[in-house]
């Protein structure tokens, strides 16, 4: 396959163009972690879905095979969204006291399961938008060209964050999104507020970049000095070298975030994904193995040593429960779960309910648990959290099957990128709340969609004939 074919055509459907524009926009305004930015995200997704529906009713497009195949995820999201909706509805007090005794307010006839229904409604709308974003990817990414555009868009979005954040740090200008930074002055944060959330974003973008590199690899053997020289020169003049440079720059930025779990999650996910990739695709194991070896040697040891990986290592060495209060927040969180095991406290309500259960030794203000699993269980209850877990686990299985069964390199590599990016965030979520940052959650949802797209192929629609 000619590597120049990886420069995708820009003659694309308008709805798909707007979808890509939204993909670029999401990380810019503080990771969309502001009410106004979330509103822009929600309105954009709902409008794009409406336009697609109008095209569908006109017969200009069809429902894709990937969308139909993702039925298990649709069911899981549907159950979760329905439960989130029920949390915001008023029920008779005796019924609420039966399913969630801790929620009941004395003397109130009707009340909601959520301790703060206003916050839960806002979170419900955001959840609908995230599910809509998942559906848009399945419905719009219908050709190889469009898949390449999505993959390269994610790579470029990560590269821009890495370049901007690193330049801000080295120049000491220290700006985020149009405003000066107040925190993490000595760390790379890009346009995000928190270095850990930029790290989470870069983990996913790096996974896509690694997938693109694997897709571009030529598995054929090069015998003779002349053929090897020609191949080497072709690599230097091809998009492959650009992708490799982008990976190095993003690794540098990831290291300069000084995020402990961000760095651990990325390299751990790469190791896990590489093992899975080598097992599922033995025909190209040598070239892939050499690439991963270069990632470890060049990116971690050479580049990492130059840009301060030792500082990250020192932070890891100094990590301990006696220095952190997160473990106490986790224990308090378990107390909340024990009080609301089935119903949860309501979407987006952790900050409201935590002061009631807060340990006296915790002096800092916590608006999140710093553990996505605990926060989902606290706000939505154990059953709803389990439903989400099933959707993610099923998607991971599909991404592995895509690597094993798909013949096209691009589809296998998209499955690899999906698997690696999801695993990285799942590891990072043990100590942080990346999935509660709208931009990171949207990119995570996109990686989930890529797994289903890569497994079940690309089915063209009539509206995409101009691509």
Residues 6+ apart with CB under 8 A from 339: 102, 357
Looking up tokens 């005794």 gives 101
The C-alpha atoms of residue 453 and residue 448 are separated, in whole angstroms, by 9
Range of the domain at 147: 3-464
Q: Measure the N-to-C terminal CA separation of the chain; round to a whole number of Å.
A: 19
Would you say residue 452 has pLDDT above 80?
A: yes
Query: Looking at 108-112, 156-160, 293-297, 355-359, which range is the least confident one?
Result: 293-297
- Cα diameter, the chain: 87
Q: Indicate if the pLDDT at residue 14 is higher than 90.
A: no
Going by C-beta distance under 8 Å and a sequence separation of 6 or more, which residues neighbour residue 126?
A: 38, 41, 42, 438
Structure tokens at 422: 């999801």
- Confidence label for 286 from pLDDT (cuts 50, 70 and 90): low
Is pLDDT at 304 greater than 70 in this prediction?
Answer: no
| pLDDT of the residue at 51 | 93
Confidence band of 183 (pLDDT split at 50, 70, 90):
confident
Cα dihedral: 391, 393, 399, 405 (round 10): -110
pLDDT of residue 461: 38
313 or 121, greater pLDDT: 121
The more confidently predicted of residues 280 and 74 is: 74
Q: What percent of the chain has pLDDT over 70?
A: 80
Residues 6+ apart with CB under 8 A from 389: none
Q: Which of 33-42, 416-425, 454-463 has the lowest mean pLDDT?
A: 454-463
Model confidence, pTM: 0.89
pLDDT at 463: 38
Does 66 score more than 60 pLDDT? yes
Over residues 356-401, the pLDDT tens digits come to: 888 767 767 788 899 999 999 999 999 999 999 999 999 999 999 9
Q: Is the pLDDT of residue 284 over 70?
A: no
Could you read off the pLDDT of 235-264 as tens digits, one per residue? 545 567 888 889 989 998 998 998 888 988
- Residue keyed to tokens 């209060």: 325
Residues in a beta bridge with 180: 175
Q: Is 454 or 95 the better-scoring residue by pLDDT?
A: 454
- How many C-beta atoms lie closer than 10 Å to residue 189's C-beta? 30
Lowest mean pLDDT among 140-144, 233-237, 377-381, 440-444: 233-237
324-334 mean pLDDT: 82
Q: How many CB atoms lie within 10 A of CB 61?
A: 22
Cβ neighbours of residue 202 closer than 8 Å, sequence gap 6 or more: 158, 161, 162, 250, 253, 254, 257, 262, 266
Question: How far apart are alpha carbons 346 and 285 in whole angstroms?
Answer: 47
Q: How many domains does the chain have?
A: 1
Would the pLDDT of 104 be above 80? no
- Where is average pLDDT lowest: 140-144, 154-158, 365-369, 422-426? 365-369
Output the pLDDT for position 467.
33
Mean pLDDT of the chain: 85
pLDDT higher than threshold 80 for residue 294? no
Three-state SS for the chain is: CCHHHHCCCCCCCHHHHHHHHHHHHCCCCHHHCCHHHHHHHHHHHHHHHHHHHHHHHHCCCCCCHHHHHCHHHHHHHHHHHHHHHHHCCEEEHHHHHHHCHHHCCCCCCEEECCCCHHHHHHHHHHHHHHHHHHHHHHHHCCCHHHHHHHHHHHHHHHHHHHHHHHHHHHHCCCECCCCECCCCCCCCCCCCCCHHHHHHHHHHHHHHHHHHHHHHCCCCCCCCHHHHHHHHHHHHCCHHHHHHHHHHHHHHHHHHCCCHHHHHHHHHHHHHHHHHHHHHCHHHHHHHHHHHHHHHHHHHHHHHHHHCHHHHHHHHHHCCCCCCCHHHHHHHHHHHHHHCCCCCCCCCCHHHHHHHHCCCCCCCCCCCCCCHHHHHHHHHHHHHHHHHHHHHHHHHHHHHHHHHHCCCHHHHHHHHHHHHHHHHHHHHCCCCCHHHCHHHHHHHHHHHHHHHHHHHCCCCCHHHCCC
């Amino acid at each position: 396959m000619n590597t120049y074919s990886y420069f995708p055509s820009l003659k694309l459907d308008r709805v798909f163009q707007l979808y890509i524009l939204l993909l670029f926009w999401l990380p810019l305004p503080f990771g969309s972690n502001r009410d106004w930015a979330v509103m822009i995200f929600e309105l954009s997704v709902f409008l794009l879905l409406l336009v697609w529906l109008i095209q569908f009713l006109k017969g200009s497009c069809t429902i894709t095979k990937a969308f139909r195949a993702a039925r298990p995820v649709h069911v899981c999201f549907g159950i979760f969204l329905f439960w989130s909706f029920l949390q915001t509805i008023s029920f008779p007090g005796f019924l609420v006291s039966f399913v969630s005794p801790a929620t009941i307010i004395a003397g109130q006839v009707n009340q909601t399961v959520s301790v703060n229904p206003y916050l839960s409604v806002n979170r419900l709308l955001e959840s609908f938008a995230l599910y809509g974003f998942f559906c848009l990817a399945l419905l719009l990414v219908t050709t190889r060209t469009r898949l390449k555009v999505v993959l390269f868009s994610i790579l470029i979005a990560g590269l821009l964050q890495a370049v901007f954040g690193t330049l801000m740090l080295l120049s000491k200008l220290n700006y985020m999104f149009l405003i000066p930074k107040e925190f993490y002055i000595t760390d790379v944060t890009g346009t995000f507020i928190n270095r850990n959330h930029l790290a989470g974003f870069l983990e996913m973008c790096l996974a896509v970049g690694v997938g693109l590199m694997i897709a571009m690899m030529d598995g054929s053997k090069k015998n003779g000095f002349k053929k090897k020289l020609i191949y080497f020169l072709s690599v230097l003049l091809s998009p492959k070298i650009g992708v490799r440079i982008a990976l190095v720059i993003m690794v540098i930025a990831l290291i300069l975030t000084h995020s402990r779990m961000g760095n651990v999650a990325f390299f751990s996910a790469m190791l896990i994904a590489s093992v899975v990739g080598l097992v599922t695709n033995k025909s190209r194991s040598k070239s892939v193995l050499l690439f991963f070896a270069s990632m470890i040697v060049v990116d971690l040891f050479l580049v990492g040593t130059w840009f301060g990986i030792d500082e990250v290592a020192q932070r890891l060495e100094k990590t301990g429960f006696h220095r952190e209060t997160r473990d106490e927040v986790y224990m308090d969180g378990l107390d909340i779960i024990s009080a609301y095991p089935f119903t949860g406290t309501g979407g987006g309500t952790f900050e409201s309910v935590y002061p009631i259960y807060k340990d006296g030794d915790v002096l800092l203000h916590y608006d999140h648990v710093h553990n996505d699993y605990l926060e989902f269980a606290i706000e939505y209850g154990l059953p709803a959290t389990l439903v989400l877990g099933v959707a993610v686990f099923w998607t991971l299985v599909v991404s592995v099957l895509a690597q094993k069964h798909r013949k096209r390199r691009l589809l296998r590599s998209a499955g690899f990128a999906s698997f690696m990016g999801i695993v990285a965030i799942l590891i990072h979520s043990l100590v942080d709340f990346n999935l509660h940052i709208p931009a990171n959650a949207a990119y995570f949802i996109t990686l989930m969609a890529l797994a289903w797209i890569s497994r079940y192929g690309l089915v063209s629609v009539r509206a995409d004939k101009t691509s």
